[in-house]
Chains A and B, each alone.
Chain A
Amino acid sequence: MSPTPSPNPNPSPTMPPRHHPGEELLLAHAAGTLGAGPGLIVAVHLEACGACRALVAALEVAGGVMMAELPPVPMSSLALERALAAIERPGAVAVAVTGAGAVTGAVAAPKVPAGLELPLALRGRDVGPWRWLAPGMRWSRVAVPEAPRANVVLMRGRPDRLLPAHGHRGSEFTQVLCGAIYDGDVRYGPGDMFVADDATHHHLRVADEGECLCIAAIEGRMRMSGLIGRIVQPLVGP
């Protein structure tokens, strides 16, 4: 809580997010047991959310404690010698890093539509071309080469458009990058993350305040019906 709330009636990207990944997701992220797709969405949320970053940092402390509490298993007798030899080899020291921008190294910029700034977590990843999804809605695939079965997409919608009604067989993890989206009466703005599980059948509508951009990881298959469902099939995957 900020001690001096600034009188800012307009939601802006600088406002802290209101909808966060649940405790279980943050714990799985800290433990490294979350799948690549959802893990990427949580990483994007963390960039936008100081509160969740602090909590994940606390959970990483817990991880360190849990690891330290395990009865140590002795290394083989030559292990330290091997390590000391390895660190003498050239290239054993990383180049000094001076800032966040220096970390990722020289990866070709992904093909991103003009005017779109991708989160750091997506840096160095291929982003496919925009494809038609529904009237006023487009999508594009985000490459997850380390887990080819992960299904991660960017979705872009014009104000007041509806995403075709759909249900789920797995979960869908969505993070709003800009604009806002309504699921019924609930508004998800920039930085907000929400999860739809197999019990959810949602009707998503882009708010009328501007174009909306989301990133989503889709697990399992979406259940679609009718013409729109067939059109959307490419997004659902093979």
Chain B
Amino acid sequence: MSATEGPAAGAPAAGAPAAGAPAAGARAGDEWSVALLAVARGRDRRAFAALFAHFAPRVKAFMMRAGMAPAAAEEIAQEAMLAVWRKAELFDAARASAATWIFAIARNLRIDAARREGRANACLDHDGDGLLTPDPAPMGDALLLCAEREGAVRAALAALPEEQAAIIRLSFFEEQPHGQIARQLHIPLGTVKSRVRLAVARLRKALEERP
């Protein structure tokens, strides 16, 4: 991948970012990734505490937004952060940022929780899934979503018309996405579907336009 501007990769931060220190933006993601790498390589508890302070309240918010009670959401956030500690070695900064990776962990825990609701003993290990495993088919750079590509996706997302961004947002929060979203926004189901297609097409374009 092309050389990064800014702090040299491979020079681990002397300490983890102070809680809440990084501002919004692509660079912030990198700092959290550095903290996560410090956990992976050095079992750095200070870095873990910083990650916890930043991400646990966001995972909790995500669970509550998805309809979970505060106590259950807090429990899942705890579980997610323990998984961050346990699985840190699986984190690959070339494929995703810490924010994306922790989202994937939280999402999988939410799936498990939803299935447990239906029946007991429904826990499936998600270790065989996506970002939480080494790339099953590392066929080349074209597939790698490196930091720059992630930046392109973030930019495309930020540039989405609000009506499309709203649908994408709701798609991540609602359990029964599209029918529910249509009712909630009082728009036809077909409109929801076409906005999803338009928004995803823009993200696809952002990926394809990267060198």
Residues of A at under 8 Å CB distance from B? 22-24, 26-28, 30-33, 36, 43, 46-47, 50, 53-76, 79-80, 82-84, 86-87, 92-94, 96-97, 99-100, 103-105, 120-121, 123-124, 145-148
User: Would A23 and B82 count as touching, CB distance under 8 A?
Assistant: no
User: Would A31 and B82 count as touching, CB distance under 8 A?
Assistant: no
Interface assignment of B27: CB less than 8 Å from any CB of chain A: no
Distance in angstroms between the alpha carbons of A104 and B128 in the assembled complex: 6
User: Would B96 and A60 count as touching, CB distance under 8 A?
Assistant: yes
Size range of the chain B interface in the assembly: 35 or more
Residues of B within 8 A of A92 (CB): 82, 85-86
Distance in angstroms between the alpha carbons of A211 and B203 in the assembled complex: 37
User: Would A63 and B172 count as touching, CB distance under 8 A?
Assistant: yes
Q: List 27 A-B contacts (CB under 8 A).
A: A23-B196, A23-B197, A23-B201, A26-B200, A27-B177, A27-B200, A28-B171, A31-B171, A32-B108, A54-B143, A58-B145, A60-B103, A64-B99, A72-B58, A73-B57, A75-B77, A80-B49, A80-B53, A83-B52, A83-B78, A83-B81, A86-B78, A86-B82, A92-B85, A94-B87, A97-B133, A103-B128
Distance in angstroms between the alpha carbons of A86 and B78 in the assembled complex: 10
Interface assignment of B163: CB less than 8 Å from any CB of chain A: no
Distance in angstroms between the alpha carbons of A84 and B70 in the assembled complex: 21
* Residue-wise interface mask of B (146-187) relative to A, using a CB-CB cutoff of 8 A (1 in contact, 0 not): 000110011001000000000011011111111000000000
Interface assignment of B93: CB less than 8 Å from any CB of chain A: no
Partner of B128, one of A36, A75, A120: A120
Residues of B within 8 A of A82 (CB): 78
Q: Which 7 A-B pairs have the closest CB atoms?
A: A72-B57, A23-B200, A64-B103, A64-B99, A32-B107, A64-B100, A146-B124
Q: How far is the CB of A205 from chain B (nearest CB, A)?
A: 30
Q: Output the nearest chain A residue to B109 by Cβ-Cβ distance.
A: A32
Given A23-B201, A60-B104, A146-B123, A87–B142 Cβ distance below 8 Å? no
Q: How far is the CB of A74 from chain B (nearest CB, A)?
A: 6
Q: How far is the CB of B120 from chain A (nearest CB, A)?
A: 11
Residues of B within 8 A of A56 (CB): 130
Given A27-B171, A55-B204, A60-B100, A87–B77 Cβ distance below 8 Å? no
Distance in angstroms between the alpha carbons of A84 and B57 in the assembled complex: 16
Residues of A within 8 A of B176 (CB): 33
Q: How far is the CB of A110 from chain B (nearest CB, A)?
A: 14
Distance in angstroms between the alpha carbons of A120 and B108 in the assembled complex: 18
Distance in angstroms between the alpha carbons of A62 and B145 in the assembled complex: 13
Distance in angstroms between the alpha carbons of A84 and B149 in the assembled complex: 34
Interface assignment of B207: CB less than 8 Å from any CB of chain A: yes
Residues of A within 8 A of B60 (CB): 72-73, 75
Residues of A within 8 A of B108 (CB): 32
User: Would B96 and A57 count as touching, CB distance under 8 A?
Assistant: yes
Partner of A33, one of B73, B96, B174: B174
Residues of B within 8 A of A33 (CB): 171, 174-177
User: Would B171 and A103 count as touching, CB distance under 8 A?
Assistant: no
Residues of A within 8 A of B203 (CB): 55, 58-59, 62
Partner of A58, one of B53, B56, B153, B173: B153
Chain A CB count within 10 A is highest, among B90, B123, B203, for: B203
Q: Output the nearest chain A residue to B131 by Cβ-Cβ distance.
A: A60
Given A60-B104, A61-B97, A66–B169 Cβ distance below 8 Å? yes
Interface assignment of B15: CB less than 8 Å from any CB of chain A: no
